[in-house]
């Protein structure tokens, strides 16, 4: 979902509520990508007021809250977007917690948000190239020759099998006419 500010969302909601227009027309006027965004904003505004329209960036949630949200989702027949409105949190956060819980259980919810990503360290190239001895080189060359030979034989076997299947299919499709 594109990040729209609270004033913009409120303006779109008021336009929709105060004019006899459809969700689609309102979205077109305000250049909103999806009418489901506008529907979510309207429901969130109706349930939580202006507070429901504010962005909640980088907010930390307790394990208890995460577990409560997932438990509510599992025990009630509710859409995660609607659940996000009830708890006044981002819908993508709800989807994420449900997925984490399904994969890792309650332990996953405890760790979510705390796992650090590995840094993008530059790997040093190993500039040392160790030359092969003649016996090692010959060993690798013989291994390559053997593998190429096996590959060739396998390809030939596959071609024979394919040809046989094609002939049998042709035979089934065009049976000989008996007089």
pLDDT given at position 1: 47
- State the Cα–Cα distance between residues 38 and 148, nearest whole angstrom: 61
pLDDT digits (tens, 9 = 90+) for 55-114: 666 678 888 889 999 999 989 888 898 888 888 888 888 999 999 988 888 888 887 665
Q: Tell me the Ramachandran region of residue 101: left when phi exceeds 0, alpha when psi lies from -120 to 50, beta otherwise.
A: alpha
Give the predicted TM-score (pTM) of the model: 0.52
What tokens were used for 57?
């960036």
Q: Locate the DSSP E strands across the chain.
A: none
- State the Cα–Cα distance between residues 110 and 172, nearest whole angstrom: 62
- State the Cα–Cα distance between residues 61 and 139, nearest whole angstrom: 60
- Name residue, tokens 């004033």: 7
Going from N- to C-terminal start, the domains of the chain cover: 1-55, 56-114, 132-178
Q: Is the pLDDT of residue 123 over 70?
A: no
Non-local (6+) Cβ contacts of 8 within 8 A are: 30
């Amino acid at each position: 979902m594109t990040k729209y500010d609270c004033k913009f969302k409120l303006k779109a909601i008021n336009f929709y509520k105060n004019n006899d227009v459809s969700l689609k027309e309102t979205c077109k006027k305000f250049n909103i990508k999806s009418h489901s965004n506008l529907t979510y904003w309207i429901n969130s505004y109706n349930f939580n007021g202006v507070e429901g329209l504010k962005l909640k960036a980088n907010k930390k949630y307790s394990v208890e809250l995460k577990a409560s949200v997932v438990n509510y989702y599992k025990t009630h027949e509710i859409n995660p977007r609607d659940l996000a409105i009830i708890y006044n949190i981002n819908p993508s956060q709800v989807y994420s917690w449900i997925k984490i819980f399904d994969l890792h259980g309650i332990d996953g919810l405890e760790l979510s948000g705390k796992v650090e990503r590995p840094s993008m360290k530059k790997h040093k190239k190993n500039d040392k190239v160790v030359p092969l001895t003649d016996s090692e080189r010959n060993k690798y060359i013989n291994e390559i020759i053997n593998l190429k030979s096996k590959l060739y034989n396998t390809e030939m076997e596959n071609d024979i099998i394919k040809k046989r299947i094609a002939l049998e299919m042709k035979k089934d499709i065009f049976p000989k006419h008996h007089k």
